[in-house]
């Protein structure tokens, strides 16, 4: 698979324990949501089709956000593979993570975004494929 700059991305494996924890939490959430509509025991809630649709839409958006956030969190491609500027090759002067937020079809997502910046060429970089140019004097 090619990256935005045309390079071929290396496939990496996520940490199995982290993936298992995220999957277990999502399965538990899904089971709780499903019980609202199809409980294993007890009476069914007397909902109209419209009420079911509205509730399902809210729950599916929440599940979509949670699955997307979990997938982002375990993606090994999001961490810097080396501490070098992809533009000039010099050592990055700073790197770490910062909170990020994006609006999606499921609603707002919150996640940690890895970043690095290079003072000599004024570039900022995120392994998630998002690159931004820094204004001179910003750093």
Predicted pLDDT of residue 128:
62
pTM of the model: 0.69
Q: What pLDDT does 135 receive?
A: 41
pLDDT of residue 127: 66
Taking alpha carbons only, the member of 14, 5, 29, 9 closest to residue 76 is 14
Q: What does the longest C-alpha to C-alpha distance in the chain come to?
A: 67
C-beta of residue 27 within 8 angstroms of C-beta of residue 19: no
Secondary element (H or E) of residue 26: helix 16-37
**Is pLDDT above 90 for 123?**
no
**For the segment 63-102, what is each residue's pLDDT rounded down to a tens digit?**
999 999 999 888 877 665 567 787 888 887 777 788 888 8
Question: Considering the chain, what is the average pLDDT of its residues?
Answer: 80
């Amino acid at each position: 698979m090619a990256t935005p700059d045309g390079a071929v991305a290396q496939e990496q494996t996520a940490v199995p324990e982290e993936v298992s924890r995220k999957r277990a939490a999502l399965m538990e959430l899904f089971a709780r949501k499903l019980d609202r509509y199809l409980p294993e025991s007890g009476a069914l809630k007397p909902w109209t089709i419209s009420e079911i649709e509205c509730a399902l839409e809210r729950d599916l958006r929440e599940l979509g956000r949670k699955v997307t956030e979990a997938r982002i969190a375990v993606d090994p491609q999001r961490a810097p593979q080396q501490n070098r500027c992809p533009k000039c090759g010099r050592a990055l002067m700073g790197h770490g993570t910062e909170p990020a937020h994006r609006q999606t079809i499921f609603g707002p997502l919150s996640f940690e975004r890895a970043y690095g910046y290079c003072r000599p060429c004024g570039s900022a970089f995120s392994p998630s494929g998002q690159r931004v140019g820094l204004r001179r004097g910003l750093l």
